[in-house]
Structure 1
Amino acid sequence: MSAIITAAGALRPRFRAATYQALISLLTVSGIRIGEALALDRDDLDADDGMLIVRDAKFGKTRLVPLHPSTTAALTRYAELREEHHPRPAAPALLLSTAGTQLLHSNVGLTFTQLTAQAGLTRRSAACRPRIHDVRHSFAVATVLGWYRDGADVAAMMPRLSTYLGHADPKHTYWHLSAAPELMALAGDRLHAHLQGQP
C-alpha cells in the first residue's frame, strides 16, 4: 500500500494529493468500508479519544473504530489542511474533494485505478484488477497473520475482528480470509503442530 500512497502524493493540486493519501491510509489501517470512509463527517473523528464514529453503516448500525495515535495525528494534520483550503466547505465531510464537496465513490474508484497502475500493480485479467475494496481484505488478512505470528488464539479473537469490521457474524469475516495463501499456510502449520501434539 505504501507505493499507492506515495503515488497519491503526486496528484495535483496539493489538496487532492493530501485527501487521497489520507483516504487510502485510513482504509489501510482501519479496515473500514470505502462507503463508510466517504460518509464520515468532521464530527465523526474524535481526535481526543483517538476514535472514529462510523454511523449508519451496513444494516444501519453505528460503531466506534479505535485509531492508532499516529493515525489520529495524520487525520488531524489533514483536517488542518482541509480548514485552510475549505474554511466554508459545501459539505461537512471529513475528506473533501478539491471543490469542497463529499468525495464521489465513482471518482475515487477511477483515481485508485490510476494510482495502482502508477505503483506498478497490474491486473491479472480484464475482470481481475486491484479495487479499493481490496484494501479492506488486506487489513483483515494482515490482522489475522499478526495473530498467528504472535501465537494468539485466532478463533477466540475472530469475534473482535468481526465487530471491528462491522460484520454481523464472524462467518462474513472468514470470507475475507479465504483466498490468502500465506494465511492458509500458517493455519495449516498450526493444525499440523496440534495433530503432532505440540503446544
Structure 2
Amino acid sequence: MHSCGIRTGEARALLSEHVNLHDGHIDILWSEGNRSRRLPLTGEVIEILAACEGISKQHFGPSRQTFFVSSNGIKVTAATVGTIFNRIWDQAALKRPTCGQQPRPYDFRHHFAYANIEKWMAQGKDVTAMLPYLSRYMGHATFDSTYYYIHTSPDFMGSYAQITQKSRSLLPEVGFE
C-alpha cells in the first residue's frame, strides 16, 4: 500500500496470479468503479514481495488464492489489516497524535500520492500536467479525486515523510518522461 498507493481492499483482494515478480508488476483488476490497472514495482518492493511469497508458499503451499493471507492461510480481513498496522506502528515506537485522526493503513495511499506530488514540485515539474498520470495510476475515476491530495495537510505529511525517509526508494516513479 505504501509503495504502490493501492487501496487497502485492493491489497487484500490481490490474487497470487496477478503478482508478476519476474516482470516487476502487479495487476489490480476490477477495483473501485470496475477499473483495472497495471502497476510497476521497484526492485526493493519485488524483493519484499518475493520474501512474502516464499514464506506463504512454505506455510500454505502454492495453491493459496490471495497473495496476502492471514496466519491460517485465508484472505486477510479489513480488521486484520488495521490490527497489524497498529501493532507495527506501536512496535516501531512511532508517536500517535494526542487528539484528532489516528494513523491508519489508508494513510499509506495518501502518502504515496503526496510524495509523488512533492517530488514533482521539487523537480520543477508541472504538477497539473502530471496529475492525470497519478490519477490513472491510483485508479481514480475523476481528477477531482486526485486533486484532493494537493490539499493534504503538509504538517502531517512532513512528519510522516521524516518517518519514511529511508524507504523513499520503495516509491516507483509515476508518469512518463
Report if TM-score (shorter chain) is over 0.5. yes
- Counterpart of 2:20? 46
Matches within 5 A, 1:40-189: 40-87=14-61, 91-118=64-91, 119-125=93-99, 127-181=100-154
Pairs aligned (count): 155
Does the 8 Å CA contact 1:137/1:177 hold for their aligned counterparts? no
Percent identical residues: 30
Check conservation: 1:35, 1:105, Cα contact below 8 A: yes
* Contact persistence 1:51–1:66 (CA under 8 A): yes
| Aligned 8 A contact 1:141 1:180 in 2 | no
Contact 2:114 / 2:152 at 8 angstroms: preserved in 1? no
- Taking the aligned partners of 2:79 and 2:128, their CA distance within structure 1 comes to 36
Moved over 3 A (4+): none
Q: CA RMSD in A?
A: 1.8
> Structure 2: how far apart are the matches of 1:180 and 1:169?
21
Relative to the length of structure 1, the TM-score reads 0.72
TM-score (norm 2): 0.81
Q: Which has the higher contact order (CA 8 A, sep 6+)?
A: 2
- The aligned runs of 1:12-27 (5 Å cut-off) are 27=1
Q: Which amino acid aligns with 1:76?
A: A
Report the Cα offset of residue 88 of structure 1: 5.8
Q: Distance in 2 between matches of 1:124 and 1:178?
A: 23
State the Cα distance separating 1:110 from its structure 2 match: 2.1
Moved more, 172-181 or 133-142: 172-181
Distance 2:68 2:130 in 1: 31
Q: Which runs of 5+ in 1 are unaligned?
A: 1-26, 183-199
Mapped to 1, the partners of 2:103 and 2:125 lie a distance apart of 30
Amino acid at match of 1:157: M
* C-alpha distance in 1 between matches for 2:152 and 2:45: 28
> 1:89-114: CA deviations, max 9, x gaps?
6x411011110111111121122123
The structure with more helix, counted as a fraction of residues = 1
**Structure 1 residue aligned with 2:168:** none
